[in-house]
Structure formats: C-alpha cells, structure tokens
Amino acid sequence: MRKNIKLKCEETLKDFKCLLNRYNEVKSNPELFKMFMSRNRNPIWDISQTTDFRTGLSSKNYKEQKKNNQRGAKYADDHFIQRTKAMKTIFYELSNNPEMSTDEFILLLKKYSSTIRLTKEEHNLVSNLSKNRDVFNYQVYSELGIEVEGLENFLIEHNIPY
C-alpha cells in the first residue's frame, strides 16, 4: 500500500474515532442513524477507489465485453457491500474496539469496502434493484444473472455471509 493511501486510512480512522460519540448518540434513532451513515460514507469512497481496494474480480459480462472490444468495455467498480451499509459495520466494530490500529482498520475497510468490476449496465441494474432494500449489492447479483467468479470465495474467506 502506498504511503499516501495508508495516511488517508490513518486520518480517516482518526476522524471516525472522533465521531464515535455521535455514533453512540444516534444508533438507537433509525432516522438519525441512517443520516449519520450516509453523511459520513464519503471517506470510504475516496479510499476504496484506489487499486488497494479492488478485489481483481469482475463479472463474466465485463470479461466478455473487454475481450470483444478493442477500445475497452464501459465499467464501474461496484462496492458489493454498499458504502452506507459498510459504514454500519465499520462503526460497530470501531465502537467495540475504540483503540483500533490503522492496520486493523485497513483490514476492516478491505473486508467491507472493496470493489469488483461490473459492466456499466450491470452496475445500474444492481443500484436500481438494491435501492431502498435491506440487501447487499452482492445479494442481488444472482437475481440479475450477474456471475462473478471468485466472489463467493472472497466472501467466505472474509467471513461475510453469502
């Protein structure tokens, strides 16, 4: 991991630790809790858009488009666990371990904020289907017929329910 990315993670962890009191205030109020998670998810976007947080996994359709298209397939790096939902787990873990180290935080980010590559069309379908539902993006892939070889292994390896 490049030094500047590790520094971003370290600074984000410090920011999140400062927000723990607010997290504890809002966690029992569903409306405020949702607002808190949504409002504070942007640092995850900044960090997870780096190569360190790409799983290297991609959908079958993306691979086919890339293979057949000389100019490159249009794609999106999809958070298979949406950032707002990832934030819930990250803050829960942080509240249980307020002395969390930067390395522990990075592992948590990689577990819950990594991305896979989908075609732009697949990404739009996933976003539309998972919106306002209590499901993770990866849970709607099968509903849409999106195949991501290796994703199940990633989830099992990281102890994420599949």
Contact 139, 80 (CB under 8 A): no
What beta strand segments (E) does the chain contain?
54-58, 75-79, 115-119
Domain ranges of the chain: 3-157
Residue 156 is encoded by which pair of tokens?
Answer: 């099992």
Please give the pLDDT value at position 47.
87
Which residues on neighbouring strands pair with residue 115, listed in sequence order? 54, 79
142-154: per-residue pLDDT in tens? 999 999 999 999 9
- Cα–Cα dist 134/7, whole Å: 33
Contact 113, 58 (CB under 8 A): no
Of the chain, the percentage scoring pLDDT greater than 90 comes to 73
47-65: per-residue pLDDT in tens? 888 888 899 999 999 998 8
Contact 118, 146 (CB under 8 A): yes
> pTM for this structure?
0.85
